Amino acid sequence: MNWPMIPPAPDTPPCGPPVPVDGDWVVTRHADVVAVLTDPRYVVPVAPGGPAGTLAWLRGTVSRFSAPDRHPGRRALGVAALRDLDPDELRDAATRLTTQTLDRLAAGWIDSGPLGAARGGDAGERQETGNRGGPAAGGGGVGERQETGDPAGGARAGRMEVMGALARRVPLEVLAARLGLADPAAAVPAVTAVAAAYHPGADPAAVARADRAVAALLAMSPPAPAEAAANRIGLLVQAADATAGLIGAAVRHGLAAPAALGTADLLAEVLRLDPPVRATRRVATGATRLAGRQIGPDATLLLRFDAANRDPAVHPDPDRFRPGGPDQADHAGRPAGAGRNGHLALAHRPVRALTFGAGTRGCPGERHALALAAGVVEVLRARCRPAGTPVRYAPHPTLRVPTSLEVMFR
- Contacts to ligand HEM by CB under 6 A: 44, 63-64, 75, 78, 82, 175, 234-235, 238-239, 242-243, 246, 276-277, 280, 355-357, 361-365, 368-369
Instruction: Tell me whether residue 102 or residue 277 sits nearer to ligand HEM (CB atom).
Output: 277
Report in angstroms how near the CB of residue 4 gets to ligand HEM at its nearest.
22
Closer to ligand HEM by Cβ: residue 283 or 291: 283
Kindly tell me which of 30 and 348 has the beta carbon lying closer to ligand HEM: 30
- Residue 223 backbone zone (phi > 0: left; psi -120 to 50: alpha; other: beta): beta
Residue 240 CB, shortest distance to ligand HEM, in Å, is 8
| Closest distance to ligand HEM from the beta carbon of 83 (Å) | 11
Helix (H) or strand (E) holding 330: none
Under a CB-based contact definition with an 8 Å cutoff, are residues 289 and 295 in contact?
yes
Nearer to ligand HEM, 74 or 334 (CB): 74
The residue (of 95 and 243) whose beta carbon lies closer to ligand HEM is: 243
200 with 60: CB under 8 angstroms? no
Smallest gap, in angstroms, from Cβ of residue 378 to ligand HEM? 16
- Bridge partners of 279, per DSSP, are 304
- 388, amino acid identity: G
Helices (H) and strands (E) in the chain, counts: 14, 13
Q: What is the torsion angle, in degrees rounded to the nearest 10, for the CA atoms of residue 26, residue 28, residue 29 and residue 30?
A: 110
Say if CB 410 and CB 391 are below 8 A apart.
no
Q: Which amino acid does the sequence have at 324?
A: G
Q: Which residues sit opposite 242 in a β-bridge? A: none
Minimum CB separation from ligand HEM for residue 99, in Å? 21
Question: Is 129 or 238 the residue whose CB approaches ligand HEM more closely?
Answer: 238
Nearer to ligand HEM, 44 or 291 (CB): 44
409, 158 Cβ separation under 8 angstroms: yes
Residue facing ligand HEM at closest CB distance: 365
- Output the smallest distance, CB 363 to ligand HEM, in A: 3
CA distance 100 to 97: 5
Q: State in angstroms the smallest separation of the CB of 139 from ligand HEM.
A: 21
How far apart are alpha carbons 189 and 159 in whole angstroms?
A: 23
Smallest distance from the beta carbon of 366 to ligand HEM, in angstroms?
7
How many residues are present in the chain?
410
Which C-beta is closer to ligand HEM: that of 29 or that of 361? 361
* Euclidean distance between CA atoms 177 and 70, whole angstroms: 28
